[in-house]
Amino acid sequence: MMNGAGPMATISHVRSWTDQWEWLRNSPDELQRVLEDEAECSERVLAGPARRADALVGVPVADLFYEQASQPAVRSGDFWYLMVLDGEAGSPSIMRVPHDSDEPEPTATDLMSDPRAQVALNVAELAPGASLGSVVFSSDGRIVCWTEDPDGSESYRVHVTSVAGQKELLDPIDGCSGSVVLDEKGSRVVWVGLDGTRRPAAVFAKSFSDGRVTVLHHECDERLRLRMKQCVSGDFLLLDAVSRTMVRHFISRLGAADLRLRQVAGLPFEGRSTLDVGELDGRPALFATVATDDQPNGRLLVRFIDRLGGAEGDWRCLIEHDERSVLAPVLVTRRNLVIGRRREGHQGIVIAKPTVPLTGIRSVRGATGSELSVTALPDWDGSVLRVGVSSYVHRPLSGRVDLDETEPRVELAALNEDVYETKELFGETADGVRIPITLVGRRDRTGPAPCLLSVYGAYGVNQRPNYNPLLLKLLDAGMVFAVAHVRGGGELGPRWHTVATGLGKPLTFTDVLACLDALVARRTADPNRVALIGGSAGGLAVGAVLNLAPERFRAVVADMPFVDPLTTMMHPDLPLTISDRSEWGDPLADPRIFECIRGYSPCQNVRDAVYPRCLPRSGRGTRGFLRWRPSNGSVRCAPLRGAGPSYCVFVPAANCMLHHSMRRFTTRLSSTHGSPISSALT
């Protein structure tokens, strides 16, 4: 590899190629200059499309989301807590009122008119671009621990603040993951620290009384990342050392003097599992949801906890593996288990009593006939579960379920489908596999319509409905919205995911085209007005599909796309590279994986063809020079100039990190300039 400014040559597995932008990785001053030039140009180029977008929406976007925002109240200790947004500034504050057993859960309106209401956490002073992470209150309500991401890099800062005076009790702690835990006495804060590659790698505790910091755990296996939580009862700290295919669990009593973390024995290291703490026969017990290669849909196991916090006795099975349904991580209260099961892509909720074997098994039914999801974690001693129905075109509907009822049922208002409709369609691949498609549009539409086609298809993620009021503006303008539930996602279970990993990854991209074929064949989508959208790993799918068939799309939106998997997976020093090998494979060690990734990587496969209008969107921070995440603050647009079309990247003026792989991708596009992306579908 050559050093210095300009193109750099790379050789691997007897293959060589030239990288135009690798040198910028270690040239922050030059990178800053490039960003400033592009930010200035983007404001000028996108001024016209911005006016058209504003006219389409009709009202300020911030106002639109503020009007639609709904947050459930959360009970902790003796208080109800509720996040309230400042309608003008858009900044959040957490308010609280005392909990009264005779009063129902308060709404935002109730809280704002209650004379007892007070500010529990004011985060109005967060810097532009900063985002709020987790928030934890002590059981007595005196102390709040919270985390913030100052610049979008996902390196969080921990704050410990008094509720009464909103004053810092400890110096802020930098370089942390987003989660934080207070012990049961409110005398120590526990957090996960990041290593040099921003891998969550060590657990620390700090005493409020003397400021002493203790290392509770350091994870030496670089494949594993640490994630931490406090169980619902508040008595135990649970730590997972996890990758996408491996996991070790640790547990500690939060009231113990040394907070020693003990490894939970008896669970497979190879596989996926989650833990929670409940009660069995009046004794603390661990409930584990465990999935392995031979039983990928999961089992539910239980085991007692000894007095020191370790596992005691043998694991016993409460729910056996079922080939027809996928078991979700169980939610635990003192008297009930809340169990989610996905069958043929549809989610259901089951309530059961924590006994061996399970007793009091009841299915939660909704009046709407739509699938239900849990919208807020249940209280440890409570008997109320909050559930809801999500939709692409309606505000989320929520309701309450009495966990102790013989036939638990939630009454929700019926979804208003007079104007909009949601359908399930299927595409069919060349190998005969049916790919589910969710289609959303107006009922009164006629004939083929402009289509926005969405894809993700990685990491076993389920693409579930997520309400966005801006989508309605597109539907009202005559478009249809389609979601391709392609292989690589998790909609139809773990095997639906694993078949499109490693050497099978190209199935994700051909599945997208099969879905598009079905939409066109049904005269649902106008073949000359199709836009493709995807983010992160879905942005990889967007780039790969675009290279396969650029002529089939009129516009493309790539939201924080991961478009250079080859270079990324060849840099083990980058965040997530090692842990992501289970998804993409290891091109350094396996020549077949190298050739496979090189065959679909968007950066390496731009063709000499006419490409559509493309809008990649970048965030404020990065998790490494080839990965980045969205910013919650303001961003600017920057067209990447060259032989390609109007191709824009959102970047903030202060950002010194560019998604180099996107620049590689965009500068190799070889069509001529045309009209801006906003006019591509009209």
How does pLDDT run across 371-391, given as a tens digit for each residue?
677 877 778 888 888 887 778
Q: Which residue has the tokens 């836009």?
A: 531
CATH number of the domain bearing residue 444: 3.40.50.1820
CA 321 to chain centre: 27
The answer to the question of residue 512 being in a domain is yes
Q: Please state the length of the chain.
A: 682
pLDDT exceeds cutoff 70 at 192 = yes
Residue 100 makes CB contacts below 8 A (sequence gap 6+) with: none
What are residue 288's DSSP bridge partners? 275, 301
Q: In what order do the strands lie in the sheet with 397-402?
A: 373-376, 384-389, 397-402
Angle, CA of 320, 322 and 327, to the nearest 5°:
80
Mean pLDDT of 487-515: 95
Rounded-to-integer distance, Cα 318 and Cα 152, Å? 42
pLDDT at residue 314 greater than cutoff 70: yes
| Count of the separate structural domains present in the chain | 1
In a domain, 440, yes or no: yes
Backbone dihedral region for residue 471 (phi beyond 0: left; psi -120 to 50: alpha; all else: beta): alpha
Q: Is residue 247 part of a domain?
A: no
Q: Examine the pLDDT at 600 and tell me if it is beyond 80.
A: yes
For residue 104, CA distances in Å to 40, 336, 376, 385 come to: 52, 21, 16, 13
- Examine the pLDDT at 339 and tell me if it is beyond 80: yes
Tell me the mean pLDDT in the region 270-282: 91
| Domain-located, residue 493 | yes
> Does residue 371 belong to any structural domain of this protein?
no
Asked if residue 324 has pLDDT above 70, the reply is yes
Q: Is 118 left (phi over 0), alpha (psi -120 to 50) or beta?
A: beta
Of the candidates 213, 189, 46, 141, the one whose C-alpha atom is nearest the C-alpha of residue 651 is 46
Q: In whole angstroms, what is the distance from residue 268 CA to residue 287 CA?
A: 14
Whole-prediction pTM: 0.81
pLDDT digits (tens, 9 = 90+) for 239-265: 999 998 899 999 998 888 888 899 998
User: What's the pLDDT band for 541 if we cut at 50, 70, 90?
Assistant: very high
Task: Please report whether residue 345 resides in a domain.
Answer: no
**Which residue(s) pair with 565 in the sheet?**
none
Mean pLDDT in residue range 654-658: 31
Strands 337-343 and 331-332: antiparallel
> What is the CB-side half-sphere exposure of residue 417 using CA atoms within 13 A?
9
In a domain, 575, yes or no: yes
The answer to the question of residue 541 being in a domain is: yes
Residue 417 CA from chain centroid, whole number:
28
User: According to the model, what pLDDT value does residue 312 have?
Assistant: 56
Find, among 140, 90, 83, 144, the residue nearest to 111 by Cα: 83
Supply the range of the domain harboring residue 595: 417-629
Query: Which of these, 309, 254, 258, 316, lies nearest to 287 by C-alpha position?
Result: 316
Cα distance between residue 448 and residue 521, in whole Å = 10
- Decide: residue 453, CB within 10 A, 0-12 exposed, 13-18 middle, 19+ buried: buried
- The pLDDT value given to residue 620: 44
521 Cβ partners below 8 Å, 6+ apart?
none
- What is the DSSP code (8-state) at residue 224? -
| Nearest-angstrom CA–CA distance, 146 and 123 | 10
At 642 the pLDDT is 27
Helix (H) or strand (E) holding 32: helix 28-45
pLDDT attached to residue 450: 96
Q: Is the peptide bond before 357 cis (omega within 30 degrees of 0)?
A: yes
The Cα-based distances of 349 to 18, 363, 370, 380 in angstroms read 53, 6, 12, 18
Instruction: Work out the percent of the chain whose per-residue pLDDT is above 70.
Output: 80
